[in-house]
Structure 1
Amino acid sequence: MDTLQSDLEAMEKENIELKERAKSISKKALLVNLEQAMSSGVSNPPTPTYGTSLSSSASEVAWLECQLNEKNKALKWADKRIRQLKARETVRLLSEMGQFHLPNDICGPLTLAAAQKRDKDDFDKIIRESESLQVEARKYQLPYIIDLTKPKSVWQREESEYYAQISLLHRRIDDLRIRLHKYSTKHANNDSSVFLMNTLNDLKNMTDIRKLKGDDKNAADEDKFRTVYSQLFGNLEAERAAFEEKRKLQPPNSSLLISSQA
């Protein structure tokens, strides 16, 4: 291909030279014709040298035109051949490249953005659901507060409904975490998906039913509580037991006899 390109450039230079020579010869022939026309008014006949020079100039012009046509044909063939070789080289390079994958970065509003619009819409939907879950989770950060002004059956029902809503919220968080995990696996764990996953984990820990009810206390904490309680109220329990014993030993009608005697 490089050889053909160099030949093409050489032919173009030669073509330019031939055109310049043809112009100069045409000017010479025109000058000869003008001199012959001017001398036609003179009685003396023109010398035969003009005829021979004119015929030689005409033959040279014809030869130059033939050479010019051949050079033009050669230039067209060389240009066509170069385009064919370039096309073959392009096809070969494309076949060696293999499968083409779209990059993750968006390069323009009408190129990769359109190709990745579906994935972007899915992630935006996950973000909106996460925001709504955050709003709902703020309602369940504290344990249920019993309203003693209501009947026991009423506040027990409300308490069970309260913790049932928390359980439903946890199921929704788990479902969203699964969808987010699938998305992050597909898109190589980008920073936004990792941050959103941590946020969902914090939401679940914030509304943990065991922590709200206090069911996660260990045995050591319970023993400490019992020890402190016994230290504070141990004497009262002993006094109460002694008082109960005295009541048992006292006759049942002693209080009535004492009041009648008085």
Structure 2
Amino acid sequence: MGLFSSAPDEEQQKACLAALAAAFPDVSERTRKQYAASHKFKPARASKALGESEKWRAETLPRAPGPDGSDGAAAASLLFTHRGFDHHGRPVFLYYGSSFAPKKWDADAVMLGVVHTLEAGFAAADAKDPTNDGCCVIIFLMDGGTKLDMGLAKQFSRLVGAHYPGRAYLALIYPGTPPATRLWAVARLFFSSEIGEKVVLVKQKVEGRKTFEEHLPEETLSLVGIDSWDKESPPPPQ
């Protein structure tokens, strides 16, 4: 056997998907495929991960993030927001971690708010186009990176990796300056090798805006506030 394992063949993929379909008939085919691919089409691993995630969803999603002004709702609205769709109808989320004040909030409550934001964004994408690929684009906005809460970023990455595998299609890290490497060191944890190759460190000014335009339509750019980011201190999302 060589140093690297070979990619799963078609029969292995079919066997894994059949096993997941039998074990989780109420889970969508798209979700089963995402878990299978994320776990290299190994039935035992994929089944265990999907089972744990379904248990987590049953326990987590019924819990409301709280009314406006509460930890979950207010904090998540500062940290993580749905900002429209990309050119292919994927939801676009903005992670505004560097201007977030995490010590003021309970991390679990914040993550619950993030979960509801993710669910709402994916639901909006499905309503807009039921045939979309189930993935999303995440923009990580770093305002210098000096206030980035690494613990919260790691918790975010673990949440996405465990319960939304394969759903992060692209990460746009802005601005793509040296401090951005701190955020990328965390963000890369929840990307598969294929997705990891699609991470883009976006430059500032005109060149950076052209990069955004490649992936996002103008209506989403206006919601994200791209034009305002050329200033030294970008305003927080509204």
Query: Aligning the two structures, in what range does the TM-score lie when normalised by the shorter sequence?
Result: under 0.3
TM-score, normalised to structure 1, is 0.18
Structure number with greater Rg is 1
Greater share of strand residues, 1 or 2? 2
